Structures are given as C-alpha cells and as structure tokens.
Amino acid sequence: MSTAHNGQDAGQAQATGGKRTAGAYDVRTVIAGLIGFYGVVLVVLGIVDYGEAEAAKTGDWNANLWVGLGMLAFALVFAAWTKLRPVVVEGGEAVEDPTGGSDTAGR
C-alpha cells in the first residue's frame, strides 16, 4: 500500500511550470496496483498450495495460478497505459494528454 506515497513524490518530482502528471492520483495506478497485488498472491498460492481439495472445486484446473497470471498481465497493461498516456494536471485541474487516445483501452 506504499504506492500512494511513492507515486505522490514522483508526481511532485515531475512538476515543471505548473504542469505535472497525476502520479498516484491517477486511478489507473491504483487499479494496476491492487489487481497486480491480487495477481502475485494468487500465483504464489497456485504454486505452493494446489492440492486435491482445490482440484475438486475447480475441476482439475489450477485456477489460482492461471487467474493470477491473467491479473498480472492486466496490471501490466494498465501500468503501461498510465505510463504512456499520463493524465496531466494543470492548475489543479486534470486534463487529458493532448495527444488523446486515452479512451480506447477503457473497455
């Protein structure tokens, strides 16, 4: 949960002439962080704790492992999107990157 503090510092570090990126205030950072954390926990669980009880529930499919990997992939895509198209904050108002295009990956 330390992402907020790190990101906040990063956001201020990038400040140049009243313009800075939203950093951790960008909701995409938060989403990537939480889903990525879930992904790591599930992958570890899938590796160390996959036994008969789990197999019986999921029908012989290591669901924790594969869903965890899926979440990690999702978190990486979101992190990359945040990095490539940052939200620029101007005078306290969030403005989208003028290059646009931030709406396509939302669905």
Partner 1 sequence: MVLAADETLRLDANFIDYALVAAYFAVVLLIGFAARRRVSDSLDFFLSGRSLPAWVTGLAFISANLGAVEIIGMSANGAQFGMATFHYFWIGAVPAMLFLGVVMMPFYYGSKVRSVPEFMRRRFGTGAHLVNALSFALAQVLIAGINLYLLATIVNALLGWPQWISLIVAAAVVLSYITLGGLSAAIYNEVLQFFVIVAALLPLTLIGLHRVGGVGGLIDSIRDSGNENDLSSWPGSDLSSIDNPVLSVIGIVFGLGFVLSFGYWTTNFVEVQRAMATKSMSAARSTPIIGSFPKMFIPFIVIVPGMIAAVLVNETRDLKAGGDPGVTYNDSILLLIRDVLPNGLLGVAIAGLLASFMAGMAANISAFNTVFSYDLWQQYVKKDRPDGYYLKVGRVATVGATVVAIFTALIAANFDNLMDYLQTLFGFFNAPLFATFILGMFWKRMTATAGWTGLVSGTLAAVLVWSLSETGVIGLEGQGASFVAAGAAFVVDIVVSVAVSMVTAPKPVSELAGLVYSETPKEVRTDPDAHKLPWYQSPTKLAGISLVLVIALNLIFR
Which residues contact partner 1 by CB under 8 A? Answer: 1, 4, 8, 24-25, 27, 30-31, 33-35, 37-38, 41-42, 45-46, 49, 53-54, 57-59, 61, 63-64, 67-68, 71, 87, 92-96, 100-104, 106-107
Q: Please, are residues 31 and 47 in contact by the beta-carbon 8 Å criterion? A: no
Q: Which is nearer to partner 1, 13 or 41 (CB)?
A: 41
Task: Take residue 97 and report the two structure tokens written for it.
Answer: 């990157």
From the CB of 24, what's the least distance to partner 1, in Å?
A: 7
Q: Which is nearer to partner 1, 16 or 102 (CB)?
A: 102
From the CB of 100, what's the least distance to partner 1, in Å?
A: 6
Torsion of CA 76, 91, 102, 30, to 10 degrees: 30
From the CB of 71, what's the least distance to partner 1, in Å?
A: 6
Q: Please, are residues 62 and 47 in contact by the beta-carbon 8 Å criterion? A: no
Torsion of CA 87, 92, 93, 99, to 10 degrees: -30
